[in-house]
């Protein structure tokens, strides 16, 4: 029997990250995932992974804390092994009109969605370089591909993640490390649950497939990109949005 792979997932306790944790566990990974505050959800998920016959370690780590992220990566390598797969799903929105967007809203989003990716990936990729293999998948958004009004901060952070993936793919491909970005459209998670019914209906009407996506559908794509079936795919951006017309 081949040794289990190891995956590191940021923002794994809820939503897309949670579905990614379960998909990667099902495809043979032991999992280290982090969350910011929701310990209860994290504990429930860790138990679900154990029930699938895989090891799971849930750790409270704020990805904006560079030192804490580095400690988490080091502890994962020591406890489970060097990650074969890294998925950055931790992300937030703080929407509002640009001209009145406070510095807090700008900084919170950039620090979580972009600095957080750097903080988690740098120590992980350093370890992957030594073992000369690995796959990084970072969660961007259609908002980062096309731009979205009232999301200037979020769109900037998610475009940044695309540049990050493309540049890093070129830098580390020769070491056997692949880096890709996934750009979901509207997915049913807590992040989209706060919308009014009117806003949801308007957005749904712009989706040719006529519905929001599920976290599981995004996780299926992430798990594919992490697998050897995607061995020749790197530096790419994958939209998963039901054909959303922007
Ligand atoms: P959710 O709000 O459902 O979950 C966010 C997750 O990120 C939670 O596990 C949360 O932990 C964690 N998190 C947030 N901030 C931090 C932090 N500073 N440090 C560590 N963990 C943190 O989000 P989604 O699942 O909807 O989104 C996941 C990713 O996909 C995000 O990057 C998002 O931008 C992107 N995306 C989502 C779309 C959607 O329609 N839902 C569309 C396009 C992209 P805790 O529970 O402890 O707060």
Question: Which neighbouring-strand residues pair with 136?
Answer: 86, 179
CA distances from 224 to 82, 187, 206 (A): 20, 18, 27
* Closest by CA position to 14, among listed 47, 31, 50, 39: 39
CATH number of the domain to which 113 belongs? 3.40.50.720
- Structural domain that includes position 26: 5-240
* pLDDT tens digits, one per residue of 131-152: 999 999 999 999 999 999 999 9
Phi, psi of 224 (to 5 degrees): -60, -45
Residue among 8, 11, 43, 214 whose CB has most ligand 1 atoms within 8 A, to mutate: 11
pLDDT of residue 166: 99
Residue 90 DSSP class: -
pLDDT, mean of residues 11-39: 98
At residue 194 the predicted structure's pLDDT band, cuts being 50, 70 and 90, is: confident
Q: Are the C-beta atoms of 183 and 144 separated by less than 8 Å?
A: yes
Q: Report how far residue 31's alpha carbon sits from residue 37's, in angstroms, rounded to the nearest whole number.
A: 19
Question: Residue 22, Cα to own-chain centre: how many angstroms?
Answer: 13
Q: For residue 246, is it within any domain?
A: no
Q: For residue 236, is it within any domain?
A: yes
Residue among 16, 60, 146, 213 whose CB has most ligand 1 atoms within 8 A, to mutate: 16
Residue among 18, 90, 119, 155 whose CB has most ligand 1 atoms within 8 A, to mutate: 90
pLDDT, mean of residues 111-139: 98
Helix axes 152-172, 116-131, angle to 10 degrees: 10
Q: For residue 161, is it within any domain?
A: yes
- Model pTM score: 0.98
Phi, psi of 216 (to 5 degrees): -65, -35
Q: Ligand 1 mean position to 31 CA, how many Å?
A: 17
Query: Of these residues, 35, 118, 154, 232, which one is catalytic?
Result: 154
pLDDT of residue 2: 66
pLDDT of residue 1: 54
Q: In the structure, which protein residues have their CB atom closer than 6 angstroms to any atom of ligand 1?
A: 10-11, 13-17, 34-38, 41, 61-64, 89-92, 112, 116, 139, 141, 184, 186-187, 189-192
Pairing of strands 85-88, 56-60: unpaired
Q: Is 146 among the residues known to form the active site?
A: no
Q: For residue 57, is it within any domain?
A: yes
Residue 113 DSSP class: I
Q: For residue 245, is it within any domain?
A: no
Question: Residue 194, Cα to own-chain centre: how many angstroms?
Answer: 20
pLDDT, mean of residues 180-200: 94
Closest residue CA from atom 35 of ligand 1: 139
Structural domain tally of the chain? 1
ipTM of the complex: 0.99
């Amino acid at each position: 029997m081949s040794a289990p792979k190891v995956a590191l997932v940021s923002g794994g306790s809820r939503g897309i990250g949670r579905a990614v944790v379960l998909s990667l566990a099902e495809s043979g990974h032991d999992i280290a995932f982090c969350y910011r505050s929701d310990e209860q959800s994290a504990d429930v998920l860790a138990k679900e992974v154990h029930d699938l016959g895989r090891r799971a370690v849930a750790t409270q780590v704020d990805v904006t804390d560079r030192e804490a992220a580095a400690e988490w990566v080091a502890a994962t390598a020591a406890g489970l092994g060097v990650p074969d797969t890294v998925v950055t799903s931790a992300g937030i929105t703080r929407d509002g009109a640009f001209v009145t967007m406070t510095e807090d809203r700008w900084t919170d989003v950039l620090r979580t969605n972009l600095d957080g990716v750097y903080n988690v990936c740098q120590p992980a990729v350093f370890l992957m370089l030594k073992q000369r293999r690995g796959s990084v998948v970072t969660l961007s958004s259609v908002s980062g591909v096309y731009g979205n009004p009232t999301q200037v901060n979020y769109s900037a952070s998610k475009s940044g993640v695309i540049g990050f993936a493309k540049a890093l793919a070129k830098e580390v491909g020769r070491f056997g490390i692949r880096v890709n970005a996934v750009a979901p459209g509207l997915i049913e998670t807590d992040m989209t649950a706060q919308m009014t019914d009117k806003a949801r209906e308007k957005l749904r009407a712009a989706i040719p497939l006529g519905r929001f996506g599920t976290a599981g559908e995004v996780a299926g794509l992430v798990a594919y990109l992490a697998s050897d079936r995607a061995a020749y795919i790197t530096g790419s951006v994958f939209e998963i949005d039901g054909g959303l017309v922007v």
